[in-house]
């Protein structure tokens, strides 16, 4: 017998365990008593045991593509009433969506999307391309989420916390002072950029607060690795025009610790944004979290680009990177990994280590190696 063909808009998808419905009874015969004719008449006599219907964690769902979610750009959508757009802000149950025609909607998420068995927190995040059904002039229901690329994420309570999706470039923003520059945090962001295939750019803001000559050693290290480094000052407008050109035509994320001036830089690029900013604490040199959730901001002008204003992160825990992979994601350590005596060398205390020999010979910057050691010992080898 020919296998029945499933409709094009149907898909077999996996659900979270808590949404699996009822489970198979351990002993069906215990439910019935001899002589209880009414109960026997109501019993299910042809219940399948091959993983169909209520006896499986999979369901056949109309309008949901789990393995390959329908793209919001797909012109062959089965439903002409769906509107394409992108998520500007995802906060709780409400999602701000900018439709392709320029209208803004507050959208909920279809329940079946929230029940799908997916990894990580958040069914919908800022930057997602989606399709939704308009329920009024200002509200809608998200029906489709397109496949993602360029995901920026961190670890939060053992789960993947996606900060932004569909990112083209990552601007790693730090500050020369107030708070002081933290190269170890920059290195963590660079590792994530390498893993996600993003083009990272290191932005050192507040360069007017220090002597630029004091920044030359760290600038030289990152420049020698092939990373672009840009000195900026939001207060004095230093290199703001260059930053505008860097953002043009791209969907760019700004990441960095609180207080480095991410929102101030965006205000300088586009004064009409009027993003909230605050001063750094004089006691502990830490910034306040003025940005509490990721927001995708469309810049004004033709092909001006899009930017993510992301929350400040004081401790960035890497997601889905093992200790053995770190050296391979660092371009200065990578060439020397093959010189180690042991294939599983972590380059910490092993003998005949090519990476340690390169550090001793000055071929690898000692500060970068120190950052590598702290990352493994503090986060990945616990």
Residue 3 is assigned to a ligand binding site = no
Strands 129-134 and 139-145, bridge-based pairing: antiparallel
Residue 207 is assigned to a ligand binding site = yes
Residue 353 is assigned to a ligand binding site = yes
- What residues contact residue 156 under an 8 Å CB cut-off, 6+ apart? 121, 317
Residue 264 is assigned to a ligand binding site = yes
Return d(Cα 60, Cα 6) in angstroms, integer: 9
Residue 259 is assigned to a ligand binding site = yes
DSSP for 109-148, written as a single string: E-HHHHHB--SSB-SS-TT-EEEEEESSSSEEEEEEEPPP
User: What are the beta bridge partners of residue 58?
Assistant: 14
| Beta strands, E only, 146-242 | 152-156, 159-164, 169-175, 199-205, 228-231
Residue 275 CB burial class (10 angstroms; 0-12, 13-18, ≥19): middle
Residue 95 is assigned to a ligand binding site = no
Collapsed DSSP state (helix, strand, coil) of residue 68: coil
Q: Are 190 and 256 in contact (CB under 8 A)?
A: no
Residue 257 is assigned to a ligand binding site = yes
Q: Are 255 and 163 in contact (CB under 8 A)?
A: yes
Residue 53 is assigned to a ligand binding site = no
Return d(Cα 357, Cα 109) in angstroms, integer: 54
Residue 17 is assigned to a ligand binding site = no
Q: What is the DSSP letter of 29?
A: G
- The number of residues in the chain equals 382
Residue 46 is assigned to a ligand binding site = no
Return d(Cα 157, Cα 181) in angstroms, integer: 27
Residue 345 is assigned to a ligand binding site = yes
Residues at the annotated binding site? Answer: 205-208, 256-264, 340, 345, 347, 353
Residues at the annotated binding site for Zn(2+)? Answer: 340, 345, 347, 353
Residues at the annotated binding site for GTP? Answer: 205-208, 256-264
């Amino acid at each position: 017998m020919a296998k029945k063909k499933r409709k094009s808009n149907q898909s077999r998808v996996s659900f979270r365990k808590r949404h699996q419905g009822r489970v198979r009874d351990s002993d069906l015969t215990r439910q019935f008593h001899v002589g209880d004719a009414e109960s026997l008449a109501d019993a299910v006599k042809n219940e399948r045991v091959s993983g169909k219907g209520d006896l499986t964690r999979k369901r056949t769902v109309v309008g949901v593509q789990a393995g390959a979610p329908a793209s919001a750009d797909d012109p062959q959508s089965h439903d002409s009433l769906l509107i394409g757009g992108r998520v500007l802000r995802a906060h709780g149950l409400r999602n701000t969506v900018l439709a392709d025609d320029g209208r803004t909607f507050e959208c909920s998420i279809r329940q079946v999307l929230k029940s799908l068995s997916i990894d990580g927190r958040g069914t919908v995040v800022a930057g997602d391309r989606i399709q939704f059904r308009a329920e009024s002039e200002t509200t809608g229901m998200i029906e489709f989420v397109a496949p993602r690329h360029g995901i920026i994420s961190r670890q939060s309570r053992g789960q993947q916390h996606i900060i932004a999706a569909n990112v083209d470039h990552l601007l790693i923003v730090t500050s020369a002072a107030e708070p002081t520059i933290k190269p170890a945090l920059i290195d963590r962001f660079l590792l994530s950029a390498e893993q996600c295939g993003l083009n990272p750019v290191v932005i050192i803001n507040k360069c007017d607060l220090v002597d630029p000559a004091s920044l030359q050693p760290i600038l030289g290290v990152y420049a020698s690795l092939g990373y672009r480094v840009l000195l900026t000052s939001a207060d004095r407008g230093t290199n703001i025009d260059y930053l505008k050109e860097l953002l043009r035509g791209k969907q760019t994320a700004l990441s960095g610790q609180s207080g480095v001036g991410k929102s101030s830089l965006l205000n300088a690029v586009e004064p009409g944004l009027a993003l909230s900013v605050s001063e750094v604490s004089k006691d502990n040199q830490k910034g306040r979290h003025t940005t509490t959730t990721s927001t995708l901001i469309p810049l004004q002008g033709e092909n001006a680009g899009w930017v993510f204003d992301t929350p400040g992160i004081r401790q960035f825990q890497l997601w889905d990177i093992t200790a053995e992979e770190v050296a391979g994601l660092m371009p200065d350590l990578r060439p020397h990994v093959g010189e180690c005596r042991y294939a599983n060398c972590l380059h910490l205390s092993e003998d005949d280590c090519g990476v340690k020999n390169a550090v001793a010979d000055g071929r690898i910057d000692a500060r970068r190696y120190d950052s590598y050691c702290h990352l493994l010992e503090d986060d990945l080898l616990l």
